[in-house]
Amino acid sequence: MYSLKNKTAIVTGGGSGIGRAISLLFAKQGARIFILDVDEKASEETLDQIQKAGGIAECILCPVDQEMAVQNAVLSVVTKQVPDILVNNAGIAHIGNIENTTSADFDKLFSVNVKGIFHVVKACIPHMKANGGVILNMASVAALVGLPDRFAYSMTKGAVVSMTLSMAKDYIRYNIRCNSISPARVHTPFVDGFLTKNYPGLEEEMFKKLSASQPIGRMAKPEEIAALALYLCSDEASFITGTDYPIDGGFVKLNN
C-alpha cells in the first residue's frame, strides 16, 4: 500500500521541515522527486539524504513568488517527466495583527503563500490534464480558527483552502484530485529559530507552552504530516478530493 513507484512528484519548499519529510518519504515509496526551493544548501542536504537511501531526486532553485522562475523550473521538470503529484508546501510565516502588519508584510505573505501556489499550479496543470494526478496544498489551522497575532498568515492560509476547493471542482473532470492539509504547530527548525530570536533564554519554557496549546500535549513531527501527505497522494486515496484535512492534535475541535 501507498506505493509511489513510477510516480514523479514536485515538492515546493522541499529543502527543510515538512517539505523535507515529504520529499524523503515520497522518495522512499518510489517516487522521483523534484525539489523546488530557494534554499540551495538545504535542498542539497535533502537531495543527499534521498540519494544515500537509494532514491531519485533533483533540486531546482526556484522562488515560487516569481512567475517566470516557476515557469522555467516546471519546464525543466516536464522535459524529463510530467509530474503525477504536486505538493505546494513552500510558505513563510508572519506575526502581527492588522495594526502592526505593514503593506509590505501583507504583500510578501500573499506573494509567497498564495501567488506561489497560483504560479506553480498554473505552470503544472496543463501538463497534468492528459493523465490526471494529485495536487496537495499546505494550509494551516490558522485558516480554520482565530489565532492571535496571525492576521496576514491566516489570510493566506484561508485563501489556500479556498483555492483548493476551486481547483478540485474545476479539474475533477481531468482526473486531477486536489486536497489540502491544515497542520497545527509542527516542530521544525523554523520553530527553534523563532524561539531563539524572540525568546532568548526562555526557549525551553516557551517550547513547552507552545506544545501544550495542542490538547494532545505536544507539537507534531514533520514525519507525521508527511504520512498524511503520502496517503492523500497515493492511489489508496483515489476517492478523495476537495477536502481539507486538519492534523492538529485536537487543536481545532478540542480547545474550548
Residue 195 burial (CB < 10 Å; 0-12/13-18/19+)?
middle
Residue 119 lies in a domain: yes
CA distances (Å), origin 191, targets 17, 34, 203, 223, 242: 10, 25, 10, 15, 30
Residue 200 lies in a domain: no
Residue 208 lies in a domain: no
**CATH value at residue 110:** 3.40.50.720
Q: What pLDDT shows up at residue 256?
A: 65
Residue 163 lies in a domain: yes
Active site residue 245: no
The total number of structural domains in the chain stands at: 1
Residue 192 lies in a domain: no
Residue 36 lies in a domain: yes
C-beta neighbour count of 28 within 10 angstroms: 15
Instruction: Report the predicted TM-score, pTM, of the whole model to 2 decimal places.
Output: 0.96
Q: What pLDDT shows up at residue 197?
A: 84
Q: What pLDDT shows up at residue 194?
A: 80
Those residues of the chain that have pLDDT short of 70 are 256
Q: Which three cell numbers stand for residue 223?
A: 514525519
Q: What pLDDT shows up at residue 242?
A: 98
Question: Residue 236 is part of which domain span?
Answer: 8-186+221-254
Q: Are 127 and 81 in contact (CB under 8 A)?
A: no
Q: Which of 2, 153, 174, 231 is catalytic?
A: 153
Q: What pLDDT shows up at residue 190?
A: 83
Residue 212 lies in a domain: no
